[in-house]
């Protein structure tokens, strides 16, 4: 699996997007449950437009295939994929105050690139839960070793006090992250 992820990471982003759009449609057309869930989710949000549903199908596939590029390419290449940033001055201002900055990302679109972008500009601590598919975890530690990002509280529920402690210190030691994970179970 890691071999396939590394191979995908080497492909140009436009090609990954084209293949991803096709993958999105293959999954949509072959999975009645996914089709129903997507339709119901969009309708619940008041977004039942057919054009929007078609775009969502393609974008979901693109998101899946661009993830290896974000996880496994050199940090500078990943950061250079970011086309526009709005409000970066607020992050810098918060960092200058020395109290830490908390960035919360939704799981919509290529949210993983946010951490890579920030890590290319300052040391960060990333709180996450391991993916359900263990093979997908294989490339992620490689990324954490090569850049300014550290993971905190892996596999554990993150409490307000532990996330505050992480942001105040900039990044916890690995021993602190492990002990926090053990104590919260």
pLDDT (tens digit per residue) in 137-184: 655 545 544 455 555 544 444 444 444 444 444 443 333 333 333 333
**Domain residue limits at 26:** 1-73
- Mean pLDDT, the chain, rounded, equals 77
- Give 136's pLDDT tier (boundaries 50, 70, 90): low
Task: Please state, in angstroms and rounded to a whole number, the distance separating the CA atoms of residues 6 and 141.
Answer: 14
CB neighbour list of residue 99: distance below 8 Å, 6 or more residues apart? 167, 168
Clarify whether residues 134 and 62 are in a common domain.
no
**pLDDT for res 34:** 96
Clarify whether residues 135 and 58 are in a common domain.
no
Residue 66 included in any domain: yes
What DSSP line would sit under 101-158, residue for residue? ------SSSSTHHHHHHHHTTS-EEEE----SSGGGGTTHHHHHHHSSEEEESTTSPP
Q: What's the alpha-carbon Rg for the chain, to the nearest Å?
A: 18
Task: Please state, in angstroms and rounded to a whole number, the distance separating the CA atoms of residues 170 and 120.
Answer: 15
**pLDDT for res 135:** 66
Higher pLDDT: 123 or 15? It is 15
CA distances from 81 to 68, 110, 140, 161, 171 (A): 13, 11, 18, 34, 25
Clarify whether residues 44 and 126 are in a common domain.
no
Residue 92 included in any domain: no
Of 34, 58, 73, which closes a domain?
73
Domain tally, the chain: 2
Residue 89 included in any domain: no
Higher pLDDT: 54 or 112? It is 54
Clarify whether residues 129 and 168 are in a common domain.
yes
Higher pLDDT: 175 or 65? It is 65
Clarify whether residues 62 and 134 are in a common domain.
no
Residue 86 included in any domain: no
Residue 87 included in any domain: no
Clarify whether residues 132 and 170 are in a common domain.
yes
Q: Average pLDDT, stretch 93-117? A: 83
Clarify whether residues 40 and 108 are in a common domain.
no
Residue 88 included in any domain: no
Task: Please state, in angstroms and rounded to a whole number, the distance separating the CA atoms of residues 19 and 64.
Answer: 10
Of 55, 73, 91, which closes a domain?
73
Residue 48 pLDDT > 90: no
Clarify whether residues 23 and 104 are in a common domain.
no
Clarify whether residues 109 and 185 are in a common domain.
yes
């Amino acid at each position: 699996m890691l071999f396939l992820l590394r191979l995908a990471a080497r492909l140009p982003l436009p090609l990954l997007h084209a293949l991803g759009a096709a993958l999105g449609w293959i999954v949509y057309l072959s999975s009645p449950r996914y089709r129903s869930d997507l339709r119901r989710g969009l309708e619940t949000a008041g977004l039942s437009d057919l054009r929007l549903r078609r775009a969502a199908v393609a974008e979901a596939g693109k998101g899946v295939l661009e993830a290896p590029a974000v996880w496994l390419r050199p940090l500078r290449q990943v950061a250079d994929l970011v086309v526009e940033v709005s409000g970066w001055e607020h992050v810098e201002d918060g960092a200058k105050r020395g109290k830490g900055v908390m960035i919360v990302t939704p799981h919509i679109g290529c949210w993983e690139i946010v951490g890579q972008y920030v890590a290319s500009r300052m040391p960060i601590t990333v709180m996450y839960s391991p993916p359900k598919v263990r093979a997908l975890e294989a490339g992620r530690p490689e990324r954490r070793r090569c850049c300014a990002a550290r993971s905190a509280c892996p596999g554990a529920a993150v409490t307000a006090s532990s996330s505050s402690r992480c942001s105040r210190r900039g990044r916890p030691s690995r021993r602190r992250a492990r002990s926090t994970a053990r104590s919260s179970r």
